Amino acid sequence: MRLKNKSIIVTGAGSGIGEGIAKRLAEEGAAIIVNDINRTGGERVADEITAAGGQAQFVAADVTRSDDVKALVAAAVRHHGKLDVMVNNAGWTHRNQPALDVPEDEFDRCYAVNVKSIYLSTIHAVPEFRRNGGGSFINIASTAGVRPRPGLTWYNGSKGAVITTSKSLAAELGPDNIRVNCVNPVMNPFTGLGASFAGGELTEERLGKFRSTIPLGRFSTALDVANAVLYLASDEAAFISGVCLEVDGARCV
C-alpha cells in the first residue's frame, strides 16, 4: 500500500482520467475525496471505490468558485482529519478551431477551469498543508502546454500557464515542504472532451492523424496517467518537485 493513510482530493473525478486516478490511488490505500460537478458520476465513482474495499466520499464542488474549493478542502479534513495531496485534474477545452473563432465565453471557461482552479486550490489547500508540515499538489496539465497544436491555441495557453505556475509554486512553497508537480498527458480521445480536442466526430481519419504524432503509436489511457500520479503522490517522490512528467509516448521529444 504505497499511499496508506494519505488523504487525497481528486477533482474532476466523476469520469475519464479523474476516475482512473481516484480508483488507482484508492487501490494503494489512499482515502479519496471524489470531486466533480456531476453528482451522478461522482457518486458512482465513490460508490465503486467503496464497493471494491477502498475509502471514498463524493463532494460536489465547482473548482472555479472559491467558496466551493474552500468547502472541498474542509471536507477532506472533516472526513480524514487532514489533507496530504490535492490532484487538480478537472479540465476543459474549447472546440478545435481557428483561434479567432473561439467565442469569449469558451475562452473564459477554459481559463477558469484550467488555471483559476489552480489559484483557488493553492489559496485554500496551502494553509492546511502548512498545518500538517507539508503536502503535495499534482496538476494535470497537457502536452499541449509543451508542444502546442494548431486549433487549440487558447487551451494550449491555459495548460502552459498551469506548467509555469506549478514550477513557480514549487520554488516558492518548497521551504514549507510542499511539493508541486505536473503530469502532461498526450491526447486521450475517449474522455468527454475527445470530440472537442479532435474538432468533431472521432472518425478513424481524425484519430489516425493524432495517433501518427505519437512515437509509441497509441493514445494515453486513464491508467497511464493514474500510475504517474501514484508515483508523484507517494513517498517515493519525496524529493521530486517542480517537474512535469510527460505521459505521452514520446510525443514531446
192-228 pLDDT, tens digit each: 766 666 667 777 888 888 799 999 999 999 999 999 9
**Model confidence pLDDT, tens digit, residues 53-91:** 999 999 999 999 999 999 999 999 999 999 999 999 999
Output the nine-digit C-alpha cell for 111.
481559463
Q: What is the pLDDT of residues 149-199, one digit of tens each?
A: 899 999 999 999 999 999 999 999 999 999 999 999 998 877 776 666 666
Quote the pLDDT of residue 109.
98
Please provide residue 178's backbone torsions phi and psi, each rounded to the nearest 5 degrees.
Answer: -110, 120
- Angle subtended at Cα 205 by Cα 203 and Cα 208, rounded to the nearest 5 degrees: 110
**Residue 207 grid cell:** 484519430
Model-level pTM greater than 0.85?
Answer: yes
- Of 17, 62, 51, 12, the residue nearest 33 (C-alpha): 12
Q: Which cell goes with 37?
A: 460537478
Contact 49, 34 (CB under 8 A): yes
- Superfamily for the 7-247 domain: NAD(P)-binding Rossmann-like Domain (3.40.50.720)
Write out pLDDT tens, residues 130-153: 999 999 999 999 999 999 989 999
- Contact (Cβ atoms closer than 8 angstroms) between residue 180 and residue 139: yes
Start-to-end Cα distance in the chain: 33
- Model pLDDT, residue 194: 63
Domain residue limits, the chain: 7-247
Q: Which residues are catalytic?
A: 155
